[in-house]
Amino acid sequence: MSCSPEHTSIDLSKLKLLNSGGDLAEYRAKLQGDKNPDRKIVSVCTGTGCKAYKCDSLAEALRDEVCKAGLEEKVEIVATGCHGFCERGALMVIYPEEILYQKVKSENAADIVAKTLAKGEVIEELLFVDPVSGKKCTKENDIPFYKHQQQELMHGGRMLDPRKIDDYIARDGYSALVKVLGEMKGDEVIDQITKSGLRGRGGGGFPTGVKWRTCKDAPGEQRYVICNADEGDPGAYMDRSLLEGNPHLIIEGMIIGAFAIGSSQGYVYVRNEYPLAVSNLTTALEQARAMGLLGKSILGSDFSFDIKVVRGGGAFVCGESTALMASLEGYVGEPRAKHIHTVEQGLYDQPSNLNNVETWANVPLIINKGVDWFTGIGTGDVSKNPWGGSKGTKIFSLVGKVNNTGLVEVPMGATLRQIIFDIGGGIRDGKKFKGVQTGGPSGGCLPEKFLDQPVDFDELTKAGSMMGSGGMIVMDEDTCMVDFARYFLNFLRDESCGKCTTCREGLKRMWELTNDICEGRGTQKHIEKLESLAKVVMDGSLCALGQTAANPVLSTLKYYREEYEGHIERGECIGRVCKPLISFHITAECNGCNLCALNCPYDAISGEKKKGDTYKIDQDKCTKCRICYQSCKFDAIDIRTGTQG
Amino acid sequence: MQRTVDKIIDRYGAEEAELLAVLMDIQAEYNYLPRPALERVSEVMGVSRSRINYMATFFSAFSLEERGKHICTVCMGTACHVRGAPMLVEEFERILEVKAGGTTEDMQFTLETVNCVGACALGPLVIVDGEYHGNQKSAQVSRLVKKVRKADAKEGAA
């Protein structure tokens, strides 16, 4: 047999049209029976993160080596969606042993096949070494990053190729849909979702079942179900990963929702910045349609529903429901006042039910595993009031200055400390924790005293931030909180649609005020003005973008006021970020290696080679680009600020 | 150009709701939205020029000016920001001698920023012609640019 590269595109005409739930069950049994049950599965992450580490050529090289070794019957290479541990890409896991190899390159493929897959030997160099204990971890679950997670939504995607519907079906995919179509009425589905306590994962936390009920009961000729995949919060990428890695899960959730509500047309509004998600989702829809899981008379029933993919044009505000629907209609994404909610009058003035990607992904799981399973995870009590708690798991994008960055899925109610320290492995380079930013530009920054705060829809709001869609950006002592507030204001003034004066002009002025403080021109008046403007922007804006825009400023003013005052009173930026307030100096640690002088693009460093004490930085020429600081191998560059300078 | 635009419109149909998709494909085809293409869209789809311009200036995916052969994009998401993305932009600006958003005189490079591409664990992130480069430092920027220039020179020689 020749070892030719695998063709990932599937001939749609060869897919079997399924006419009933029985057909699907039969087809699944055949898929499962065709494969050697004792085979090893090598799950190679091919999410966007690992793509940067050339995972595609790794998967190809592994396939090639497996073929050359004649192991094709015994080993299956699966190019999957995101595994979550993006920090350590390219990632691969060998099942059933659960051996995890990290930072794998295609050059390692031959060794992996010859040693691990053929003989069962573990390759030590590719194992993860726990930076805290110094121990090598062979199995995925030995690694603290995975051990403390509860992957319900993400796990499925790690075992299947998102470009192959067969993989999803073989792992019980579309069985929730069969159950709904065969055994349930629309109202029963809505009741189940309501009882489960599922709340909107986009950050709003509105009970999904209640929304579905309102949509179903609203008068209208056509009802729409829409998936919000316009994941605009900077620092958050769980929706991208779900869409890329397990698109059929989202599609199945949407079909179930459409059945419950009585809709025949759905949309997925997805960011154009996510090309792989668009491509995998489009492929998945084509395959589902070819098999009769989407389109006219789904699985031979009298229920018809189809989904269209619409790419967003790169506007943050389009994550807002009315803006999103305007954009779907071919207009610019400007929000309107919500005297009447979109769930009653949305797209083309018809009842439109909009849920986030992660919310849709939960639906098939709740149908399959049951309400009790779902309410068994999380906080509070939702048996009487759907707002009474936060149930299920939540995926967070744990990024910034933390050791183990990536996507983590935990039960609602896990504490910030568990997420950042137990899973994330604490702060990088032995630095100190300064704060964590949650909830994107609408959220806030929380300092150390809140580390034991449970994370769910309600608890973080009490502390002055919010859970939001799941972005969690960790900051260390080298972060300047004034600069951080300025960053969000810059983001928001750029993304404001411009409709409301308070948001359009107010954010610009607030940015100028923080910019003055960062550049050393701040006074106490600046802080007072910031606070009063914040109130005006919040009160005077139509949509959530403006209404919550001041949160990053207000929360940093509340918890890090001394940093604002340090900038104003002492010209001091303790994060050593704000350029006008810092200066670079060479210390006694210098041994004269000359690397800094070689690398300095501005010829600002001079000295006599091998004579450390002769090196100096010319402050007039220095632009504070940090290249010397990054290139020095002896920690001999000091950044001074305020009175130190 | 007229034929190309017509083909793109045929892909989606001339309904108003498809305006965004049509404009995106034109942007992908030419790397910007050429004026004659927009005039054709207006004619075929029956949408006013002012509405098309409103769309073209509202969404950040569009550019009304011709862009360079190579696109360097620096991600400005929060995770990239705290790990030093602004310094990468400055270094690109210095090396390419162009401000963010601009195109070099020789039309070789356009420097852009984006408000997050969702590869936050790799921050700070630079995308050169669609290829992702994670965990970048200012000192690596010149190498990225050199690599592109070298590949071009090789192509030119061959």
List the domains of chain B with CATH numbers.
2-58 (no CATH), 70-157 (3.40.30.10)
Residues of chain A in contact with residue B16, where contact means CB-CB under 8 angstroms, are 329-330
| CB contact at 8 A, A576 and A480 | yes
Backbone phi, psi, residue A223, to 5°: -115, 145
Residue with the bigger pLDDT between A292 and A13: it is A292
Give the mutation candidate from A240, A358, A469, A627 for the B interface (greatest B CB count, under 10 A): A627
Residues of chain A in contact with residue B76, where contact means CB-CB under 8 angstroms, are 234, 491
CB contact under 8 A, B119 and A487: no
CB contact under 8 A, A233 and B116: yes
| Enclosing H/E stretch for B93 | helix B85-96
CB contact under 8 A, A399 and B121: yes
C-alpha to C-alpha distance for A229 and A285, rounded to whole angstroms: 15
| CB contact at 8 A, A163 and A245 | no
Q: What is the pLDDT of residues B4-37, one digit of tens each?
A: 999 999 999 989 999 999 999 999 999 999 999 9
Residue A642 is predicted with a pLDDT of: 87
Residue A178 is predicted with a pLDDT of: 98
With a cut of 70, say whether residue A645 has pLDDT above it: no
Q: What is the pLDDT of residues A549-582, one digit of tens each?
A: 999 999 999 999 999 999 999 999 999 999 999 9
**Strands across the sheet containing A75-80:** A75-80, A40-45, A92-95, A99-101
A481-501 average pLDDT score = 95
C-alpha to C-alpha distance for A587 and A637, rounded to whole angstroms: 6
With a cut of 80, say whether residue A9 has pLDDT above it: no
With a cut of 70, say whether residue A488 has pLDDT above it: yes
Token pair listed for A361: 């992904």
Burial grade of A121 (CB within 10 A; 0-12, 13-18, 19 or more): exposed
C-alpha to C-alpha distance for A286 and A263, rounded to whole angstroms: 20
The strand ranges marked E within chain B are: 70-75, 109-114, 126-128, 131-133
Pick the residue from chain A with its C-alpha nearest to B76: A234
Min mean pLDDT across A5-19, A381-395, A526-540, B49-63 is at A5-19
Q: Which pLDDT band holds residue A163 (cuts at 50, 70, 90)? A: very high
Residue A37 is predicted with a pLDDT of: 87
Token pair listed for A279: 């491509």
Going by C-alpha positions, the residue among A272, A93, A299 that lies closest to residue A182 is A299
- Minimum-distance CB partner of B118 among A274, A333, A599: A274
Token pair listed for B125: 């992130």
Q: A487-503 burial string, b = 16+ CB within 10 Å, else e?
A: bbbbbbbebbbebbebb
| CB contact at 8 A, A325 and A138 | no
C-alpha to C-alpha distance for A420 and A13, rounded to whole angstroms: 48
Residue A4 is predicted with a pLDDT of: 61
CB contact under 8 A, B84 and A397: no
| CA A211 to each of CA A391, A412, A433, A542, A644: distance values in angstroms, whole numbers, following the listed order | 17, 21, 39, 21, 57
Residue A2 is predicted with a pLDDT of: 57
With a cut of 70, say whether residue A5 has pLDDT above it: no
Give the ipTM. 0.93
Distance from CA of A459 to the nearest CA of B (A): 23
Task: Write the single-letter amino acid at B42.
Answer: S
Enumerate residues 106 to 145 of chain B having a beta carbon within 8 A of any beta carbon in chain A.
Answer: 114-123, 125, 132-134, 137-139
Percent of chain A with pLDDT over 90: 91
What domains appear along chain A, each with residue ranges and CATH number?
37-139 (3.40.30.10), 165-385 (3.40.50.11540), 392-476 (3.10.20.600), 481-570 (1.20.1440.230), 579-644 (3.30.70.20)
With a cut of 80, say whether residue A6 has pLDDT above it: no
**Radius of gyration of chain B measured on its C-alpha atoms:** 18
With a cut of 90, say whether residue B145 has pLDDT above it: yes
Q: What is the pLDDT of residues A379-427, one digit of tens each?
A: 999 999 999 999 999 999 999 999 999 999 999 999 999 999 999 999 9
Give the mutation candidate from B115, B125, B143 for the A interface (greatest A CB count, under 10 A): B115
User: Pairing state of beta strands A378-380 and A352-356?
Assistant: unpaired
Percent of chain A with pLDDT over 70: 98
CB contact under 8 A, B78 and A405: no
Q: What is the pLDDT of residues A605-614, one digit of tens each?
A: 999 999 989 9
Residues 6+ apart with CB under 8 A from A74: A36, A38, A39, A40, A117
A442-453 average pLDDT score = 94
User: At CA A320, angle to CA A326 and CA A378, rounded to 5?
Assistant: 140
Average pLDDT, chain A: 94
Enumerate residues 27 to 46 of chain B having a beta carbon within 8 A of any beta carbon in chain A.
Answer: none
CB contact under 8 A, A625 and B90: yes
C-alpha to C-alpha distance for B146 and B108, rounded to whole angstroms: 12
| CB contact at 8 A, A241 and A81 | yes
- Whether the predicted model's global pTM rises above the 0.90 cut: yes
Give the mutation candidate from B48, B81, B96, B144 for the A interface (greatest A CB count, under 10 A): B81
| CB contact at 8 A, B42 and B55 | no
Q: What is the pLDDT of residues A257-312, one digit of tens each?
A: 999 999 999 999 999 899 999 999 999 999 999 999 999 999 999 999 999 999 99
Residue A226 is predicted with a pLDDT of: 98
C-alpha to C-alpha distance for A617 and A145, rounded to whole angstroms: 42
Going by C-alpha positions, the residue among B62, B39, B147, B81 that lies closest to residue A483 is B81
CB contact under 8 A, A235 and B20: no
Burial grade of A411 (CB within 10 A; 0-12, 13-18, 19 or more): buried
| CA B60 to each of CA A268, A269, A322, A473, B114: distance values in angstroms, whole numbers, following the listed order | 20, 16, 19, 24, 9
Q: What is the pLDDT of residues A594-607, one digit of tens each?
A: 999 999 999 999 99
**Radius of gyration of chain A measured on its C-alpha atoms:** 27
With a cut of 70, say whether residue A1 has pLDDT above it: no
